[in-house]
């Protein structure tokens, strides 16, 4: 066991200067790498504040991996969220954290640019047009190298390294090049596009090669893994047998085998179901219903304000149901939580204007002095309030046009301890592979979406219960701990070369 990274407090060096090499000698045998560290800054008295100035970020990934950081010699490498600021390694909540610095320019070019205006739309079925800029690509490469360097500095011999998500696809290859001793895993949290779309990327070979530096490349859906393997074959001429990609060096010699496989991510089931049983949260759900005038049906949408989520399609379907007289504002209210996201990226700004314009139009047309059609909330809420909303909602609307998984769908189902409520779920969300008893639909088909909503609104209690029980069983048996354990077990398995 090595000594922890310096002391347990956050040491901040002057903005714009490079921190001392404090803590650089510390080595770890398990390292997680993601764009953001699993902590957020917080002010004294904020929810989750423990006096350190940091609080643990919400979300299943952190919940699943934090205990491993404590148990093994683990550390998490990532950006701490403030541009142009250098932080020394520090510890929080039992996790050793290694901050990576990003300049203001790099945030613009690597994060907002290449990650969120090139890769994000490209990987989500080009719902918005991806932009290709060489300066963004240069920054992406440079920043990926910085993350890889931080791992190389801190990884013990034969350490296991788990790289997360599309912002860091070059890191596996960069690691293998200088540290072939490492076990390298990569997990893509978002979809992987079919080769016909991926082909547009001017740097498609470099990205595939970057990912193939890993021993195991994990995806949400089997179709994502399939798309990746087809791209490996098409753009790098790799030989692919079943789930194994034989990776060759310049001389055509096989250097290693990279496996590509689906590991559908999940949520912290225990946390959500415990909260859903707490009397104060049940009371809060009752209060929410009352504040809305106790309508017969509350419909709920919860999303980051992102064009992949199908918020416009959902609003259109709801508006048409009001216009058709199938729903009325006296009976039905749609709560739409849209948490602020990537607000400096153009497409996100445009989306916000459009969604807010549409909500204003619907409410202006259908509201009465007593009732509101759409209660729109451009906020983020703590998990307790989210669970109260899940409990208050009769119908959950997940209408994503493309989504790696969609954990909101899983959280809603988990919160429904009484097996009531109905889930309308897009077949283009990864969760559709597991939640087969949801009302699955194609959100582009507005009539189909409207009829799924009405089926949910009118669903007999017995049928709702049958469907909810079956979905709950699936999630309760596959929580996020299973996900990380399955991935890490597969990563550490010896690969038997399949040369047949
Ligand atoms: C998706 C991605 C994550 C990302 C999150 C929030 O879930 O898979 O990697 O962190 O969106 O986006 P943000 O840009 O705020 O990190």
- Helical axes 461-477 vs 269-276, angle rounded to 10°: 140
Rounded CA-CA distance 319/326 in Å is 10
- Backbone region of residue 64 per phi and psi (left: phi > 0; alpha: psi in -120 to 50; beta: other values): alpha
- Reported as a pLDDT band with limits 50, 70 and 90, residue 45 is confident
Task: Answer for the pair 210, 172: CB distance below 8 angstroms, yes or no.
Answer: yes
Rounded CA-CA distance 82/37 in Å is 11
Say if residue 108's pLDDT is above 90. Answer: yes
Residues 198-241: pLDDT tens digits?
A: 999 999 999 999 999 999 999 999 999 999 999 999 999 999 99
Q: Would the CB of 341 count as within 6 Å of ligand 1?
A: yes
Nearest residue CA, atom 6 of ligand 1? 341
Q: Which of 189, 246, 256, 313 is catalytic?
A: 189
392: exposed, middle or buried (C-beta count within 10 Å: 0-12, 13-18, 19+)?
Answer: buried
Indicate the top mutation candidate among 32, 302, 304, 380 to test ligand 1's pocket, ranked by most ligand atoms within 8 A of CB: 304
pLDDT value at residue 1: 31
Rounded CA-CA distance 261/90 in Å is 34
pLDDT value at residue 201: 98
For the ranges 39-53, 89-103, 143-157, 411-425, the lowest mean pLDDT is seen at: 39-53
- Reported as a pLDDT band with limits 50, 70 and 90, residue 47 is confident
Give the residue-averaged pLDDT of 452-471.
Answer: 98
Residues 401-413: pLDDT tens digits?
A: 999 999 999 999 9
Q: Which residue has the higher pLDDT, 14 or 269?
A: 269
Say whether 361 is catalytic.
Answer: no
Residues 88-103: pLDDT tens digits?
A: 999 999 999 999 999 9
pLDDT value at residue 23: 64
Task: Answer for the pair 30, 160: CB distance below 8 angstroms, yes or no.
Answer: yes
- Reported as a pLDDT band with limits 50, 70 and 90, residue 127 is very high
Backbone angles phi and psi of 177, in degrees to 5: -60, -45
Q: Find the helix or strand (DSSP H, E) in which 258 lies.
A: strand 254-262
Say if residue 485's pLDDT is above 80. Answer: yes
- Which domains are assigned to the chain? 19-265+483-491 (3.40.50.2000), 269-478 (3.40.50.2000)
Say whether 313 is catalytic.
Answer: no
Distance 345 CA to ligand 1 centre (A): 14
| Closest ligand 1 atom to Cα of 404 | 8
**Closest Cα to residue 484, out of 98, 164, 77?**
164
Residues 321-377: pLDDT tens digits?
A: 999 999 999 999 999 999 999 999 999 999 999 999 999 999 999 999 999 999 999
- Reported as a pLDDT band with limits 50, 70 and 90, residue 498 is low
| Closest ligand 1 atom to Cα of 166 | 9
Backbone angles phi and psi of 266, in degrees to 5: -140, -160
Say if residue 113's pLDDT is above 90. Answer: yes
Q: Which residue has the higher pLDDT, 48 or 429?
A: 429
pLDDT value at residue 248: 85
Nearest residue CA, atom 7 of ligand 1? 189
Q: Would the CB of 471 count as within 6 Å of ligand 1?
A: no
Distance 297 CA to ligand 1 centre (A): 31
Task: Answer for the pair 99, 79: CB distance below 8 angstroms, yes or no.
Answer: yes
Using alpha carbons, list the distances in angstroms from residue 349 to 56, 115, 381, 417: 28, 17, 21, 37
Using alpha carbons, list the distances in angstroms from residue 337 to 300, 386, 398: 8, 9, 12
């Amino acid at each position: 066991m090595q000594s922890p990274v310096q002391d347990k407090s956050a040491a901040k060096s002057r903005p714009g200067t490079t921190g001392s090499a404090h803590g650089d000698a510390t080595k770890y045998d398990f390292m997680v790498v993601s764009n953001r560290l699993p902590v957020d800054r917080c002010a004294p008295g904020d929810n989750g504040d423990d006096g350190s100035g940091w609080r643990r970020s919400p979300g299943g990934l952190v919940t699943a991996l934090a205990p491993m950081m404590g148990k093994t010699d683990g550390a998490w490498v990532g950006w701490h969220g403030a541009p142009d600021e250098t932080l020394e390694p520090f510890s929080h909540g039992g996790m050793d954290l290694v901050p990576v610095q990003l300049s203001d320019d790099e945030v613009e070019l690597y994060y907002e640019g290449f990650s969120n205006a090139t890769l994000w739309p490209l990987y989500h079925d080009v719902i918005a047009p991806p932009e290709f800029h060489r300066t963004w690509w240069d920054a992406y490469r440079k920043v990926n190298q910085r993350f890889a360097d931080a791992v190389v500095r801190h990884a013990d011999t034969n350490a296991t390294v788990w790289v997360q998500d599309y912002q860091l696809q070059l890191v596996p290859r960069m690691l293998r090049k200088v540290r072939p001793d490492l076990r390298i895993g990569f997990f893509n949290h978002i979809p992987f596009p079919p080769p016909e779309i991926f082909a547009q990327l001017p740097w498609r070979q470099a990205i595939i090669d970057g990912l193939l530096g890993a021993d195991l490349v994990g995806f949400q859906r089997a179709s994502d893994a399939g798309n990746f393997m087809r791209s490996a074959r098409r753009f790098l001429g790799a030989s692919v047998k079943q789930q194994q990609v034989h990776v060759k060096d310049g001389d055509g010699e096989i250097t290693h085998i990279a496996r590509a496989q689906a590991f559908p991510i999940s949520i912290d089931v225990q946390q959500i179901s415990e909260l859903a049983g707490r009397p104060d949260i049940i009371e809060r759900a009752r209060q929410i219903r009352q504040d809305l005038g106790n309508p017969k049906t509350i419909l709920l949408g919860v999303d980051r304000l992102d064009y992949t989520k199908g918020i416009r399609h959902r609003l259109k379907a709801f508006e048409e149901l009001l216009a058709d007289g199938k729903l009325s504002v006296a009976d039905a209210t749609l709560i739409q939580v849209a948490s602020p996201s990537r607000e400096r990226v153009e497409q996100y700004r445009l989306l916000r204007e459009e969604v807010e314009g549409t909500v204003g139009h619907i409410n202006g047309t259908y509201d009465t002095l007593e009732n509101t059609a759409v209660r729109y909330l451009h906020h983020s809420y703590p998990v307790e309030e989210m669970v109260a909303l899940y409990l208050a909602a009769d119908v959950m609307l997940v209408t994503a046009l493309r989504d790696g998984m969609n954990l909101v769908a899983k959280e809603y189902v988990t919160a429904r301890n009484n097996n009531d409520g109905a889930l309308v779920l897009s077949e283009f969300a990864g969760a559709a592979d597991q939640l087969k008893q949801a009302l699955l639909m194609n959100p582009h088909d507005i009539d189909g979406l409207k009829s799924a909503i009405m089926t949910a609104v009118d669903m007999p209690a017995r049928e709702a219960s049958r469907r909810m029980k079956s979905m709950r069983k699936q999630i309760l048996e596959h929580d996020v701990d299973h996900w990380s354990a399955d991935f890490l077990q597969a990563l550490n398995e010896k690969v038997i070369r399949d040369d047949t």
